[in-house]
Amino acid sequence: MHSLFLLLLRRSSASVILIIVIGSIAGLCNSSLLALISEALRDRASVTTMMIAAFLALSLGVMASNLLPELLLSRLSRSLAAELRLRIGRRVLAAPLRHLETLGHGPVLAVLTHDLQTVVATATALPSLVVGSTIVLGCLVYMAWLSLQGLLLVLPAMAVLAGIYAVGARKMAPLWRAERDAQDELYRQQQHVLEGVKELKLHERRRSEFFEHDFAPAVEGVRRTGVRASDSVATFGNFLHFFTWLVLGLVLFGLNLMNPDGTSATQGYVMTLMYMWGSFRGLIESIGRWAQAGIALEKLSQLDVSLTEALKDEAALGSGLEPARSERHEVRFSGVTYSFGGQDGHAFRVGPLDLELRPGELIFVVGGNGSGKTTLAKLLTGLYAPETGQLLWNGVAVTDENREAYRNTFSAIFADFHLFEHLRGVPSEGLTKQAEEYLRRLSLEKKLQIVDGRFSTTNLSTGQRKRLAMLVALLEDRPFYLFDEWAADQDPEFREIFYRQLLPELAARGKGVVVITHDDRFFHLAHRVIKLEYGRLVAAA
């Protein structure tokens, strides 16, 4: 509760203070209404026009003072969630690619959906916490005025109840945490269901084994831990219910014993107590919700910290470091190495690599599967930072400070490329005319149009999607181009166009072009062919 409250306070202390003040007024109006009703019941002859007017005023006061904090907090909690979403989104985009690959999508999605919803739902309940607290206080004052003796019975009972719940909440915390951990695994498996739907549909046995051994246990994990957590909440809730009647009985019979003639006072007392007890129970039970929000915030901050620690180049994010296109750009690898893993005995190292890419040069990278071609491509494009050695850009070492700017000299189409619906970040001058020309050259003009910088569709065949990615890359008009097995999904006609027209044209325009390929029919068209074997350059033609 503490951390969520602080977060809200930091977001807008003025709103939080206003919510507390107005919420307290709501609580006071509520308890005053109750006291008024109780007085009217105690002595019907005492009902005056003033009392009726006060009753109406208080009822309106309750409505207004309940509504305002709710409206304020729904805005505050949602803008807090929006701020956290943007922050995590920015961190994800700024974090090193390798860190994101290791983290996986599941935990990030769980935080962005499940945890943020929990935080919003709990924060939205803050007004009822404030109103509830004031109702309890107001009722206690009224009860003290009615009978101090009764209060001596009620206060210890409240203390015992709060103590029991505090102990219970501490015992329940691991159950809520277990439920939340199970959610992470469920998100991971749900991702497999969505991304692997074709493979699962095509293989009945794979599907049933996946369901039995992966998906169902993840679902069961969430069910089991959820039931355990909610069982304990229900048990405690009902124990509190029992306790309520116990206290009411204690007060009723205790007051009767202590004050045998005061029947109407006892009635008012018990009525106030019943009303107050409902709010008090609500307050105590909300400890559970706040504890869950605490766990959600903890997950959020763990992800934030892990992304922040891994993040080295955020300073440059979005700083508009678009390098001048007219400049001559060249890259040199000097003793560059990069490695993966190692604990399981499957370490893989690329390098040490010495390599140059100059303007107008067309280089083909060849090598067997797993020889390190894509890793080399990620190093070359600045997506991975070399472990040792240096990457020199126009003679200057690429470091955390200029890596973002360096990355912006590349247009790349990786094997697992992504297409955005909008043509974002592409220079808009003459865009439509140029785009239409490329659409024609890539034989896509009958499949889609570009309307207001947006593709009319991206639901195309794999080869066509790759051609659309090529269109985006060509429009970007960057100094360097990298294509990771682009032609693998193209028909023979387009392979010819790619190798005999598009690549030579790019090189002729002074672009440095690197092509990862297995198409040995076209090797002679490259200025240089470099070959990788187990991460090392073995031959250069």
Ligand X SMILES: Nc1ncnc2c1ncn2[C@@H]1O[C@H](COP(=O)(O)OP(=O)(O)OP(=O)(O)O)[C@@H](O)[C@H]1O
Binding residues (CB under 6 A) for ligand X: these are 101, 340-341, 348, 367, 369-375
In the bound state with ligand X, the residue whose beta carbon lies nearer, of 215 and 348, is: 348
In the bound state with ligand X, the residue whose beta carbon lies nearer, of 126 and 515, is: 515
Exposed, middle or buried: residue 342 (CB in 10 Å: 0-12, 13-18, 19+)? Answer: exposed
In the bound state with ligand X, the residue whose beta carbon lies nearer, of 156 and 370, is: 370
Burial string for 1-20 (b: 16+ CB within 10 Å, else e) reads beebeebbeebbeebbebbb
In the bound state with ligand X, the residue whose beta carbon lies nearer, of 372 and 386, is: 372
> How many angstroms separate the CA atoms of 290 and 293, rounded?
5
In the bound state with ligand X, the residue whose beta carbon lies nearer, of 23 and 372, is: 372
> How many angstroms separate the CA atoms of 471 and 413, rounded?
11
In the bound state with ligand X, the residue whose beta carbon lies nearer, of 204 and 416, is: 416
In the bound state with ligand X, the residue whose beta carbon lies nearer, of 373 and 478, is: 373
The angle, 0 to 180 degrees and rounded to 10, between the axes of the packed helices 126-146 and 148-195 is 170
Of residues 534, 529, 480, the one with CA closest to residue 337: 534
Minimum CB distance to ligand X, residue 369 (Å): 3
Minimum CB distance to ligand X, residue 425 (Å): 26
Minimum CB distance to ligand X, residue 340 (Å): 3
Give yes or no for a contact between 88 and 307, defined as CB atoms under 8 angstroms apart: yes
CA dihedral defined by 422, 428, 432, 437, rounded to 10 degrees? -100
Question: Is the link from the previous residue into 96 a cis peptide, with omega within 30 of 0?
Answer: no
In the bound state with ligand X, the residue whose beta carbon lies nearer, of 282 and 352, is: 352
Tokens of 464: 């066509």
Q: HEC states along 441-479?
A: HCCCCCCCCEECCEECCCCCCHHHHHHHHHHHHHHHCCC
Minimum CB distance to ligand X, residue 95 (Å): 14
Q: In what order do the strands lie in the sheet with 528-533?
A: 410-413, 480-484, 512-516, 362-367, 528-533, 536-540
In the bound state with ligand X, the residue whose beta carbon lies nearer, of 101 and 421, is: 101
> How many angstroms separate the CA atoms of 58 and 322, rounded?
63
Of residues 96, 86, 80, 115, the one with CA closest to residue 301: 115
Exposed, middle or buried: residue 279 (CB in 10 Å: 0-12, 13-18, 19+)? Answer: buried
> How many angstroms separate the CA atoms of 83 and 8, rounded?
11
Torsions phi, psi for 531 (to 5 deg) = -120, 135
In the bound state with ligand X, the residue whose beta carbon lies nearer, of 319 and 388, is: 388
Of residues 250, 182, 256, the one with CA closest to residue 216: 182
In the bound state with ligand X, the residue whose beta carbon lies nearer, of 377 and 435, is: 377
> How many angstroms separate the CA atoms of 340 and 312, rounded?
19
Minimum CB distance to ligand X, residue 482 (Å): 12
Minimum CB distance to ligand X, residue 412 (Å): 13
In the bound state with ligand X, the residue whose beta carbon lies nearer, of 365 and 469, is: 365
> How many angstroms separate the CA atoms of 32 and 42, rounded?
15
Minimum CB distance to ligand X, residue 310 (Å): 14
For 177, other C-beta atoms within 10 Å of its C-beta total: 18
Minimum CB distance to ligand X, residue 385 (Å): 15
Minimum CB distance to ligand X, residue 230 (Å): 39
In the bound state with ligand X, the residue whose beta carbon lies nearer, of 312 and 536, is: 536
Minimum CB distance to ligand X, residue 517 (Å): 10
Minimum CB distance to ligand X, residue 531 (Å): 11
Tokens of 459: 């639901």
3-state helix, strand, coil in the chain (%, to 5): 65, 10, 20
Minimum CB distance to ligand X, residue 287 (Å): 43
> How many angstroms separate the CA atoms of 323 and 245, rounded?
75
Minimum CB distance to ligand X, residue 346 (Å): 6
